Amino acid sequence: MRIRAARASEGRALSAPVLRSKASWGYDAAFMRLSAPVLRVSEEEIAAGCALVAVDAEGRPAGVVAVSSAAEEGEAALGRLKRLFVDPAWQGAGLGRALMVAAGGFAQAGLFGARHRSDFFAAPSRNGSARGRGALRRGGVAACCRSTASISTDERAPASGRRAKVQSGRLRMTDWNARLYLRFEDERTRPARDLLAGVPLATARSVVDLGCGPGNSTELLAARFADAQVVGLDNAPDMLAAARRRLPSVAFVEADLAAWQAEAPVDLLFANAVLQWLPDHRALLPRLVGMLAPGGALAVQMPDNLDEPTHVAMRETAGAGPWAARFAARPVDRARLPGIEAYYDLLAPLCRRVDIWLTVYNHALEGVGAIVEWVKGTGLRPYLAPLDEGERAAFLAAYEGRLRQAYGPRADGRVLLRFPRLFIVAVR
């Protein structure tokens, strides 16, 4: 779902969800016939530049918001809410709030015109019932919709804000499987919670979730920084689709983090379990720190498990089977992380505060098969990608056999997956 400015040719298409929405309130046919001329979205209304539309993944209108223009209703009514309708198929998903606050974001940014500073967006702060529907005080723009307004791929948006897919010369794993990744959602989200707990910011205006995946970490950020502009970035379409289903009011953008550049200073860059896939941290981390606003924070969590049996067995299996020559010619394992001291020395000259710590998690899983399923969603992916279906089955069987030698059952029959993770919080 994305929100953009309405187009002059869309009057009839935008009128359809408006009429369906009104009808869903229980009005009879006679009333709807009388109301239709007033409810329809006119070309004049769109031409005034004061209407936004939410469109689904197929480009179909799902909701409309419009504010009045001076040309329509005079200076006294400039910027007041004129219409807000959500198609019944999307009601209850937070889209009405998203449209209302996106309109507020456009008004505050002057994207409706320099004089469209809406009375409507101030009034709800004095109106309890409007606040209950998600309205904000003057200048308050909800995280979910400030981001939508600022990065929409609408014609008004700058080219640099549009969806990007940049080749970086490395293995681009853009086919991440969100369903497989989320099989262990609680275990995978716990490090994100621990990382966020270490962020010392009381407030933030701009938050970017780097490598947001299916939105589990983005959800934590939006809850903690409810008044911030929160945006999720990822290069995997399946992950982004899952994130948008999970948080329909938050903006998610497809981008290659190796090339991505923030358009304005950011208060928090949150990178949970993503930077380990990117090379050259000695260049990458200073570049990210350079995107921070003064007092902003870079929060990073990375698996540090290349010496754990899970990953030792990956390398051994790759080097022992009929596929060994292929892996020898093109190694696929990710690079080792620099040491804690190296990260500190890299960031300390650039930041007023640097916290680095290592946490070892021990996840109780149902058996060795569960470990295989866990790493199939992450570390095993580059090993399985170059193999055909038969080779993958053989690789997984050989790999699981090695794991059974390393992970014996505990007293309750489960196995413990030891998982070290490195945490960094650097404040500029």
* Structure confidence by residue, pLDDT tens digits, 251-261: 999 999 999 99
Question: What is the rounded average pLDDT of the residues 154-169?
Answer: 30
Whether residue 167 has pLDDT greater than 50: no
Instruction: Give the pLDDT band of residue 379 (cuts 50, 70, 90).
Output: confident
Interhelix angle 143-151/95-108, rounded to 10 degrees, is 60
Whether residue 146 has pLDDT greater than 60: no
Backbone angles phi, psi at 78, to 5 degrees: -55, 125
Residue 221, pLDDT score: 94
- Tens digits of residue pLDDT in 296-354: 999 999 999 999 999 999 999 999 989 999 999 888 888 899 999 999 999 999 999 99
- Tens digits of residue pLDDT in 179-189: 444 455 677 78
Least confident of 1-10, 125-134, 281-290, 335-344: 125-134
Least confident of 29-33, 90-94, 130-134, 160-164: 160-164
Q: Closest Cα partner for 64 from 24, 20, 27, 114?
A: 20
Enumerate the domain spans of the chain. Answer: 2-158, 163-427
Question: What is the rounded average pLDDT of the residues 75-83?
Answer: 61
Torsion sign across C-alpha atoms 158, 161, 165, 171: positive
Whether residue 37 has pLDDT greater than 50: yes
Whether residue 63 has pLDDT greater than 80: yes
| Fold match between domain 2-158 and domain 163-427 | no
Residue with tokens 């369903």: 179
Percent of the chain with pLDDT over 70: 76
Cα–Cα distance, 120 to 370 (Å, whole number):
53
92 or 408: which carries more pLDDT confidence? 408
Cα–Cα distance, 63 to 242 (Å, whole number):
21
Instruction: Give the pLDDT band of residue 249 (cuts 50, 70, 90).
Output: confident
Q: Report yes or no: 253 and 171 within 8 Å, Cβ to Cβ.
A: no
Residue 252, pLDDT score: 94
Domain 163-427 has CATH 2.30.110.10: no
Q: Report yes or no: 231 and 209 within 8 Å, Cβ to Cβ.
A: yes
- Tens digits of residue pLDDT in 407-427: 999 999 999 999 999 999 999
413 or 111: which carries more pLDDT confidence? 413
pTM of the full predicted structure? 0.58
Tokens of 162: 């549009």
Residue 68, pLDDT score: 67
Residue 195, pLDDT score: 95
CATH of the domain spanning 2-158: 3.40.630
Question: What is the rounded average pLDDT of the residues 145-153?
Answer: 31
Residue 329, pLDDT score: 87
Instruction: Give the pLDDT band of residue 45 (cuts 50, 70, 90).
Output: confident
Instruction: Give the pLDDT band of residue 110 (cuts 50, 70, 90).
Output: very low
Note the residue count of the chain: 428
- How many beta carbons lie within 10 A of that of residue 169, not counting itself? 7
